[in-house]
A and B are shown apart, each in its own frame.
Chain A
Amino acid sequence: MDDLALPAATVITGSAGWLGRALVHHLATDAGDHARDGEVRALVLNQTEADAVHAVSARARAIIGSVTDPDSLERLLVGLPPDTDVIHTAGVIHPAKVSDFFAVNAGGAANVAAAVQRAGLRRMVHVSSNSPFGTNASDEDTFRAHEPYNPYLGYGESKMQGELAVLDQVQAGLDAVIVRPPWFYGPLQPPRQTTFFRLVRGGRFPKFGAGMQRRSMVYVDNLVQGIVRAELTPGPSGRAYWIADERAYTVNEIIETVGRALTDEGYEVKPGAMALPVIAGRVAERADRIIQSTGRYQQQLHVMGEMAHSIACDIGAAQTELGYRPAVALYEGMRRSIQWCRREGLEL
């Protein structure tokens, strides 16, 4: 089937974020993989973020507001032609407190979906996560296109509610597609990802048990491609797709590949990893659960707790239905990330 025509205008929420800026780069600059004409509007929280977006693309139009503020969404969407697409990426993953999850990830998605529906725009692409589905029951298991919800703590619960809010609007007539990326990586990454490289360099990346947990990851340009394919492929409203690299990687493979990428980029890498018993991951998970139940959030514990499990997904539906073709795999993607860090002057 032919693609939908390119939209007259494109709106990106969370556009100063990692994924948001990658989208602005690929959609609204000549160097982008999916450069398009027409207006690109970018929702940002403040002037600093507006500057960050403009640094990526001078022609993107930054509008200050928040997905938690419906009035600002009215302003964001005012005067747009009906064949406008909205890509909703705004979300929080490591907040100061648990309630932020719900305000932004659940409430924000509901507000955006309602605003798009009210404005009568063409399509909404909702960027969700693996987190509404938790972790695989065993290291051999792989999430299929359709899976039962099993939210992983506050983040997962809030992202699930976000999906459900979008699906509610779908019932009311909204055309929406959900995209579910797992752990992503690549240029424009936030500081916590720099820590990741440092841990691998120092031979201190935490590895639970035999390191055979499988993780789906997605290089950010692959993700942008998946989002654009979801945006432009005709099909029934309410569909959802995993967007990830071609296949999942084991933790051992991730540590080895990133180490190799660092070495090949001229960094000295201490081989090995911080071997931890599986029980340590369970303890971290339990502690994360307890702390989140008090409304607080501790990033390290959360990441540790999740690392003891597999999160692997099957991208078959995106490949066959959307024509998604992930072009970059782990080694190449990591080399590009490292090069970007060096260009940015980041210490690894």
Chain B
Amino acid sequence: MTGPASTPIHTPATEARYDAEILIIGSGAGGATTAALLAEAGFDVLVVEEGDWVEQGSVVSFSLEQMDRQYRSGGVTVALGLPSIAYTEGRCAGGGTEVNSGLYRRPPAELLERWRSQYHIRDLDPDEMYVIADEIESAINVTTVPGAVSAPSAVLRRGADALAWQNSESPRWMTYPPGGSASSGQRQSMTRTYLPRAQRAGARLLTQCRVRKLSISGTSASDADVVLADGSPGRIHFRHVFVCGGAIHTPALLQRSGLRERIGDTLAVHPTVKLAARFAEPINIPDDVPVHQVKEFAPEISFGGSASHPGLVALALADNWGEFSHALHEWERVCVYYAAITSEGKGRVKAIPGLRDPLVTYNLTARDKQLLRSGLSRLTLLMLAAGADEVYPSYHNAPVVRSSADIASLQRSFAATKATVMTVHLCSTVPIGEHPRCAAGSFGQVRGMRNVWVNDASMLPDAPGVNPQGSVMAFAIRNAQRFIETERPHG
């Protein structure tokens, strides 16, 4: 068993004053790994987390209750634009790793090479990154599902195979009981892996602690102004700070602290459009997502499956309720799938004085909109090839698709501005590298600052085109290792 040795100590922030050698803001894929490595190297580490600690299994995955307790703003967050793009962010101990699909992809070698050359990232060696990836994969138990894949996952495989489109099962970081089925996994999120590790090495974790701003003078930051669990103000003094609040709140915090140059100007996302498909037999699994992904058109376009409990099926059908809603009678036979693209558009995160949350905008390019159309159409074709009786694309007044000829009318009537466009992978608001457009150095040190670092999805130079958690963790560990080499604690 790879479960936690003990439930770690996590306390709501109550003291008006804390001190730490290393302050880590955020406890997700970036913050938790940084905390574990630095604590194990002997640093005095304090992790602060805005959300709560929620025991796994105490809420149903992908439910509204989970949205309430583990997502920022109940899961209703939007990047404004034409069209606006809905996104979600984890806000809890463990961050996005507690609530995401649990699918794992290593950063592809071509991607690392492109990032290295395009953004001039120093000492970015794919071999070293894959040594780190090996460690991560063992620490969070990356594995394929035991036994047969779930019915909605088999749909993706069947459809793609029929069209000769490349597809594969994405491994997950899960543990399974002996003889367990595909749906019996226990996710090895940060609250079960790197956070307990950090705490065993002496790191402290404060929950319900929101950082308002960093006090900066010259090239150094010294303190964090925080809001404690009861809403009262507090202060944390530190020697180094790692900002790991995710691609939206990391740049917003830096901006509120007066660091604005190139920060927050390059938000990257994987915009997705979706559809619901109805089959002859029951396929719906309300509390899990498919593990197959179709990568034939990657990195431009990828396909996969979405959470599909009846509420989310209703949501997917809402764009043409009059024509689509009959499918709800048989929601057990319906599942929701997505087409994601790598976008050439750019978004911005802008902290606005006086407001708690930043303004987030995103503009899709003409090419992006064409890719969304193409992605949705190809995904529809895949569903028909997998044997779907009817397909319901999610855009205003979309047609019910029953045949390949119907897809022509989908292509004609689709417009990105009419579609429900969403994203889950937000990144690149504080890109690392030596290139002038980068906001932080090759190892995450914020430009012009001696002791302020970023080490979360913000640092990825642009959208990776694959599930980003593996990339975030690998970069975070690489940067933490470099930090330890150069700043190793004495005594």
The answer to whether A and B touch directly, with their CB atoms under 8 angstroms apart, is yes
Interface residues, chain A, CB within 8 Å of chain B?
Answer: 134, 136-138, 140-141, 144-151, 157, 160, 164, 317
CB-nearest residue of chain B relative to A320? B164
CB-nearest residue of chain A relative to B377? A148
Interface residues, chain B, CB within 8 Å of chain A?
Answer: 163-165, 296-297, 300, 367, 370-371, 373-375, 377-378, 380-381, 385, 404-405, 407-408, 410-411
Asked if A138 meets B300 with Cβ closer than 8 Å, knowing A145-B164, A148-B378, A150-B411, the reply is yes
Partner of B165, one of A134, A144, A148, A149: A144
Question: Is the CB–CB distance between A148 and B164 below 8 Å?
Answer: no
**In the assembly, what is the distance between CA of A151 and CA of B405, in Å?**
10
Question: Is the CB–CB distance between A137 and B407 below 8 Å?
Answer: no
Other 14 A-B pairs with CB < 8 A, given A141-B371, A148-B411: A137-B374, A137-B375, A138-B300, A140-B300, A144-B163, A144-B165, A144-B296, A148-B378, A148-B408, A149-B404, A149-B405, A149-B407, A150-B374, A317-B164
**In the assembly, what is the distance between CA of A141 and CA of B375, in Å?**
11
CB-nearest residue of chain B relative to A317? B164
CB-nearest residue of chain B relative to A132? B408
| Interfacial chain B residues near A149, Cβ < 8 Å | 404-405, 407-408, 411
Asked if A138 meets B385 with Cβ closer than 8 Å, knowing A144-B165, A145-B164, the reply is no
What DSSP secondary structure best describes chain A's contact surface? loop
**In the assembly, what is the distance between CA of A146 and CA of B164, in Å?**
8
CB-nearest residue of chain B relative to A150? B411
| Interfacial chain A residues near B371, Cβ < 8 Å | 137-138, 141
Question: Is the CB–CB distance between A148 and B407 below 8 Å?
Answer: yes
**In the assembly, what is the distance between CA of A140 and CA of B371, in Å?**
11
| Closest CB in chain A relative to B216 CB, distance in Å | 42
| Interfacial chain A residues near B165, Cβ < 8 Å | 144, 146
| Closest CB in chain A relative to B387 CB, distance in Å | 15
| Closest CB in chain A relative to B362 CB, distance in Å | 19
| Closest CB in chain B relative to A147 CB, distance in Å | 7
Question: Is the CB–CB distance between A141 and B164 below 8 Å?
Answer: no
| Closest CB in chain B relative to A22 CB, distance in Å | 30
CB-nearest residue of chain A relative to B407? A148
Question: Is the CB–CB distance between B370 and A164 below 8 Å?
Answer: no
**In the assembly, what is the distance between CA of A160 and CA of B403, in Å?**
13
**In the assembly, what is the distance between CA of A147 and CA of B371, in Å?**
14
Q: Can you name 18 A-B residue pairings with CB atoms under 8 Å? A: A137-B300, A137-B367, A138-B370, A141-B297, A141-B300, A144-B163, A145-B163, A145-B164, A146-B163, A146-B164, A148-B378, A148-B380, A148-B407, A148-B411, A150-B374, A151-B408, A160-B408, A317-B164
| Interfacial chain B residues near A134, Cβ < 8 Å | 411
Among A147, A149, A150, residue most surrounded by chain B Cβ atoms (within 10 Å): A149
| Interfacial chain B residues near A145, Cβ < 8 Å | 163-164
| Interfacial chain B residues near A151, Cβ < 8 Å | 408
| Interfacial chain B residues near A146, Cβ < 8 Å | 163-165, 381, 385
**In the assembly, what is the distance between CA of A92 and CA of B374, in Å?**
27
**In the assembly, what is the distance between CA of A157 and CA of B300, in Å?**
27
**In the assembly, what is the distance between CA of A64 and CA of B373, in Å?**
44
**In the assembly, what is the distance between CA of A137 and CA of B165, in Å?**
18
**In the assembly, what is the distance between CA of A149 and CA of B381, in Å?**
9
Question: Is the CB–CB distance between B367 and A138 below 8 Å?
Answer: yes
**In the assembly, what is the distance between CA of A151 and CA of B370, in Å?**
14
CB-nearest residue of chain A relative to B381? A148
CB-nearest residue of chain B relative to A142? B297
| Interfacial chain A residues near B411, Cβ < 8 Å | 134, 148-150
**In the assembly, what is the distance between CA of A120 and CA of B377, in Å?**
36
| Interfacial chain B residues near A147, Cβ < 8 Å | 378, 381
**In the assembly, what is the distance between CA of A137 and CA of B369, in Å?**
9
| Interfacial chain A residues near B377, Cβ < 8 Å | 148, 150
| Interfacial chain B residues near A160, Cβ < 8 Å | 405, 408
Question: Is the CB–CB distance between A164 and B405 below 8 Å?
Answer: yes
**In the assembly, what is the distance between CA of A317 and CA of B164, in Å?**
9
| Interfacial chain A residues near B296, Cβ < 8 Å | 144
| Closest CB in chain A relative to B148 CB, distance in Å | 26
**In the assembly, what is the distance between CA of A174 and CA of B219, in Å?**
78
| Interfacial chain B residues near A137, Cβ < 8 Å | 300, 367, 370-371, 373-375
CB-nearest residue of chain B relative to A149? B408
Among A136, A147, A160, A317, residue most surrounded by chain B Cβ atoms (within 10 Å): A147
**In the assembly, what is the distance between CA of A141 and CA of B298, in Å?**
10
Among A136, A148, A157, A160, residue most surrounded by chain B Cβ atoms (within 10 Å): A148
| Closest CB in chain A relative to B488 CB, distance in Å | 45
| Interfacial chain A residues near B375, Cβ < 8 Å | 137
| Interfacial chain A residues near B380, Cβ < 8 Å | 148
**In the assembly, what is the distance between CA of A137 and CA of B375, in Å?**
9
CB-nearest residue of chain B relative to A135? B370
Partner of A144, one of B164, B367, B407: B164
| Interfacial chain A residues near B367, Cβ < 8 Å | 137-138
| Interfacial chain B residues near A317, Cβ < 8 Å | 164
**In the assembly, what is the distance between CA of A33 and CA of B417, in Å?**
52
| Interfacial chain B residues near A148, Cβ < 8 Å | 377-378, 380-381, 404, 407-408, 410-411
